[in-house]
Amino acid sequence: MFSPPVERLITELSKLPGIGRRTAQRLAFHILRVPEEEGLALAEAIREVKEKIGFCEVCFNLTDQPVCKICSDERRDKSLICVVEEPGDIIPVERTNEYNGLYHVLGGALSPIDGVEPEDLKIDELLRRASDPSVHEVVLATNPTTTGEATALYIGDALRQRRPELSITRPASGLPVGADLEYTDEVTLGRALLGRRAVN
């Protein structure tokens, strides 16, 4: 239906998460419509990010340096490590302005069905970091999904075996601000009740 270069562009765009064939066609036609320098700027940005961005040697966050800005920031609390599944999970935690520790990016979550085993993630590296006596707390901020919960349980057990005195925490989960009880699912409401706290 389309010439081979256009078809190839559509095929490559449709491989992006959340992009179906129709959206890929619209994006391809948009790229064809814009001035050449705009289209080439997009191609150059993709090439540059693939060439220059890698993983932090310490926490496995995305960076253009051997050690990311967070790990090299002397103002961060080095006694605290927040464990997340993907680099993108750091952004919402940072936006809260409530956390000032370090991070550790696992690179996914345990999922035997999908073939993701502990050795496929950065768990051993986390255990090595957490064995440092200067680390006092590890926050397991994996996603509140089946795979995220399984990953948190696995890591929690492994950390307790190595350092029983280490504080291992999980972010509280429950009702979002502004939510109506009537429309809240049972699991979320149950967690909110389990994590209830005193009113000051």
Per residue in 90-143, pLDDT tens?
A: 999 999 899 999 999 999 999 989 999 999 999 999 999 999 999 999 999 999
Query: Based on the domain organization, do 97 and 156 belong to the same domain?
Result: yes
Q: How many structural domains compose the chain?
A: 3
Query: Based on the domain organization, do 81 and 164 belong to the same domain?
Result: yes
Query: Based on the domain organization, do 44 and 83 belong to the same domain?
Result: no
- Return the pLDDT at 181: 72
Query: Based on the domain organization, do 101 and 156 belong to the same domain?
Result: yes
- Return the pLDDT at 186: 79
Query: Based on the domain organization, do 47 and 29 belong to the same domain?
Result: yes
- What are the tokens at 184? 């809240």
69 assigned to some structural domain: no
Per cent of the chain over pLDDT 70 is: 100
- Return the pLDDT at 46: 95
Query: Based on the domain organization, do 157 and 188 belong to the same domain?
Result: no
Segment 73-84 shows an average pLDDT of 97
Query: Based on the domain organization, do 182 and 111 belong to the same domain?
Result: no
Query: Based on the domain organization, do 85 and 143 belong to the same domain?
Result: yes
68 assigned to some structural domain: no
The CATH number of the domain holding residue 45 is 1.10.8.420
137 assigned to some structural domain: yes
Full DSSP string of the chain:
---HHHHHHHHHHTTSTT--HHHHHHHHHHHHHS-HHHHHHHHHHHHHHHHH-EE-TTT--EESSSS-HHHH-TTSEEEEEEEESSGGGHHHHHHTT---EEEEE-SS--BGGGTB-GGGTTHHHHHHHHTSTT--EEEE---SSHHHHHHHHHHHHHHHHH-TTSEEE-----PPTT--GGG--HHHHHHHHHT-----
pTM (2 d.p.): 0.83
Q: Which residues contact 52 (CB under 8 A, 6 or more apart)?
A: 64
188 assigned to some structural domain: yes
57 assigned to some structural domain: no
- Per-residue pLDDT band for 200 (boundaries 50, 70, 90) equals low
CA distance linking residue 158 with residue 83, whole number of Å = 14
The CATH number of the domain holding residue 164 is 3.40.1360.10
What range defines the domain where residue 27 resides?
Answer: 7-52
72 assigned to some structural domain: no
Query: Based on the domain organization, do 142 and 188 belong to the same domain?
Result: no
Cβ atoms 91, 105 nearer than 8 A: no
The least confident of 24-33, 85-94, 133-142, 187-196 is 187-196
Residue showing tokens 């069905």? 113
148 assigned to some structural domain: yes
